[in-house]
């Protein structure tokens, strides 16, 4: 029998709501035909798809990253402001398409305003200049009688947008990136960008461009940029047609966080840096099927993928002391939880854990001890299309668990991913101290099999079910059986 030990006093850190963030890029049908579809009967007068906005609200997305992604390294933000009919159509090289620029800075800011979402902008450090980046900060945040602030006012936006989060380029380590740089050259360039952006608005927070934490790039960039940045980004995609390879691969996220955190703390110590530097996991997801521009990256997600996404979320919560932002890539159509057609949408399997975590996770992450069956991954099972090797990080617990509580200690939530594809696991949940449970609710994401998926014709093959259970009263020990291939979130209301 598996055992989960929970001590309400053993705090790991405060869960920052920004870990439930999103990301939209000018790629495929994410923007056009996704969040924005002019002339559609499903859109409002601004062109925003109303059904998509309703689905996004269900995710309680706190922060949204834009405009890229690889796209940003060839994007000039001034092409996307002013009268729409005068904006230039540009050849887009990252994804080999044409960018109409009908959705630009002011449209994105309005979308964030309508949804109550904080904007996070990534600047072009590929083909862009530091003056262009500095001007964008002034356009968004300027309050004085200056050119770019006045241009924003001329475009109909009197008040500044007060954009707080700014990324210093995207994946500049990759040769697929326009303006690809060595880590040394990136540091030199990023410092100059950071100077003029911070001098324009000292209140902004900057995100340095990281890799996965275990590369030479990460060491050089963290050491060089530590005085200037507030966050260090990590990008990680995993995925496999083999279920166990799929659901164990997020162990790489744990390794990436630990590796980056060690480099950050070493840099802060040796350079006597007083301000904290957090991790922004600003691109992450299961993604392995659709890679080509022709596919538009329209991944169709299974129950197994939803469980892998749940393990990622557990990982971010377990590292809540340092992971203060995470942005699922992406929000609509492109490797996304929401999938649209001109007539409507359906929610992919991965939508349901994202919604449940945003709804149910509380403020304080708890240090949980788990003792469940373990499984080692064989070489044959380690199918990783991205070329990653992670079997040596095992053996892996079949139950992946995290727990949170509210500030007052009146609500306790446990998120338990049973990665076993065949068997339910009977489990004892032991509390460090006796507690009186007045309400007991279980939320479960599951489906017929690990390969189950949703579609326009069958929209709820994988869904979240809610069950109100009998409250056990005053106890120290609970028993619960976690079904095969499931995510279960248990919510306990305490007297």
Q: What is the pLDDT of residue 240?
A: 93
> What token pair was written down for 251?
């162990």
Average pLDDT per 10 consecutive residues for the chain, totaling 495 residues:
96 98 97 97 97 98 97 98 97 95 98 98 98 98 98 97 98 96 98 98 98 95 98 96 95 97 98 98 94 85 98 98 97 98 97 98 98 90 78 95 97 98 97 93 98 97 96 92 98 95
Q: What angle do CA 282, 288, 291 make, to 5 degrees?
A: 85
For 273, half-sphere exposure in the C-beta direction (CA atoms, 13 angstrom radius) is 21
493: left (phi over 0), alpha (psi -120 to 50) or beta: beta
Q: How far apart are the C-alpha atoms of 91 and 326, rounded to whole Å?
A: 30
List 25, 37, 107, 283, catalytic entry: 283
List 138, 171, 382, 444, catalytic entry: 171
What is the pTM for the complete model shown?
0.96
Q: Which string of DSSP letters, residue by residue, matches 420-482?
A: -SS--EEEEEEEEEEEEEEEEEEEEEE-SSTT-B--SSSTTSSEEEEEEEPP-EEEEEEEEEE
Q: Cβ contacts of residue 379 below 8 Å, gap of 6+?
A: 391
Hunting for tokens 């405060």 — which residue is that? 14
Fold of the 14-362 domain: TIM Barrel (3.20.20)
Indicate if 283 belongs to the active site: yes
C-beta atoms surrounding 388 within 10 Å: 16
C-beta atoms surrounding 456 within 10 Å: 12
- E-strand ranges in 260-398 read 278-286, 323-329, 338-341, 344-347, 364-366, 369-371, 374-375, 396-397
Which residue, 299, 300, 247, 239, is CA-closest to 484? 247
Which residue, 274, 242, 234, 237, is CA-closest to 258? 234
Q: Say if residue 395 is preceded by a cis peptide, omega within 30 of 0.
A: yes
Which residue, 58, 74, 59, is CA-closest to 26? 74
Which residue, 78, 47, 176, 164, is CA-closest to 117? 164
Q: How far apart are the C-alpha atoms of 415 and 424, rounded to whole Å?
A: 15
Which residue, 432, 443, 437, 442, is CA-closest to 472? 437
Q: What angle do CA 127, 132, 136 make, to 5 degrees?
A: 125
Q: How far apart are the C-alpha atoms of 286 and 307, rounded to whole Å?
A: 10
For the chain, residues classed under CATH 3.20.20.80 are: 14-362
Judge: domain 2-9+366-494, CATH 2.60.40.1180: yes
Give CA separation, 293 vs 176, 298, 327, 338, in Å: 13, 10, 22, 19
Q: What is the pLDDT of residue 387?
A: 76
For the chain, residues classed under CATH 2.60.40.1180 are: 2-9+366-494
3-state per-residue secondary structure call for 468-479 = EECCCEEEEEEE
Q: What residues are paired with 293 via a beta bridge?
A: none
C-beta atoms surrounding 476 within 10 Å: 11
């Amino acid at each position: 029998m598996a055992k989960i030990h929970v001590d309400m006093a053993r705090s790991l850190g405060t869960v920052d709501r920004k870990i439930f963030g999103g990301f939209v890029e000018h790629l495929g049908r994410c923007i056009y035909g996704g969040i924005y579809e002019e002339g559609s009967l499903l859109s409002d007068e601004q062109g925003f798809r109303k059904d998509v906005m309703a689905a996004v609200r269900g995710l309680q997305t706190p922060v949204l990253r834009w405009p890229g992604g690889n796209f940003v390294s060839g994007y000039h933000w001034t092409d996307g402001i002013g009268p729409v009919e005068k904006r230039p159509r540009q050849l887009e090289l990252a994804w080999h398409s044409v960018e109409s620029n009908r959705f630009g800075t002011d449209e994105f800011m309005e979308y964030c305003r309508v949804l109550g979402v904080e904007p996070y902008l990534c600047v072009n450090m590929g083909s862009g200049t530091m003056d262009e980046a500095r001007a964008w900060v002034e356009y968004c945040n300027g309050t004085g009688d200056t050119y770019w602030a006045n241009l924003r006012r001329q475009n109909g936006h009197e008040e500044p947008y007060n954009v707080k989060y700014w990324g210093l380029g995207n994946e500049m380590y990759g040769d697929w990136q326009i303006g690809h740089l060595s880590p040394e050259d990136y540091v030199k360039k990023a410092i100059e960008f950071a100077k003029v952006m911070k001098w324009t608005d000292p209140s902004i927070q900057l995100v340095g461009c990281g890799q996965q934490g275990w590369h030479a790039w990460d060491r050089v960039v963290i050491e060089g940029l530590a005085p200037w940045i507030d966050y260090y980004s990590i990008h990680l995609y995993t995925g496999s047609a083999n279920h166990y390879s799929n659901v164990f691969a997020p162990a790489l996220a744990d390794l990436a966080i630990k590796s980056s955190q060690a480099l950050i703390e070493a840099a802060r110590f040796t350079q006597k840096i007083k301000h904290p530097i957090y991790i922004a996991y600003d691109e992450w997801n299961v993604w392995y099927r659709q890679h080509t521009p022709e596919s538009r990256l329209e991944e169709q997600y299974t129950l197994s993928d939803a469980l892998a996404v749940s393990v990622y979320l557990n990982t971010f919560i377990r590292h809540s002391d340092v992971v203060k932002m995470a942005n699922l890539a992406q929000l609509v159509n492109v490797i996304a939880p929401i999938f649209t057609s001109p007539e409507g949408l359906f929610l992919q399997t991965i939508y349901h854990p994202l919604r449940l975590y945003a709804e149910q996770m509380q403020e304080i992450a708890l240090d949980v001890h788990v003792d469940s069956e373990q499984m080692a991954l064989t070489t044959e099972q380690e199918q990783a299309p991205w070329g990653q090797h992670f079997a040596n990080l095992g053996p892996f617990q079949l139950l992946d668990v995290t727990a949170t509580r509210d500030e007052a200690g009146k609500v306790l939530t446990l998120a338990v991913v049973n990665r076993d594809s065949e068997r339910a696991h009977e489990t004892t949940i032991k509390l460090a101290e006796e507690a009186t449970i007045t309400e007991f609710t279980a939320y479960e994401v599951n489906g017929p099999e690990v390969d189950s998926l949703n579609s326009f014709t069958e929209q709820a093959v994988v869904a979240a079910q809610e069950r109100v259970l009998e409250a056990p009263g005053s106890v120290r020990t609970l028993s619960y059986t976690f079904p095969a291939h499931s995510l279960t979130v248990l919510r306990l209301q305490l007297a």
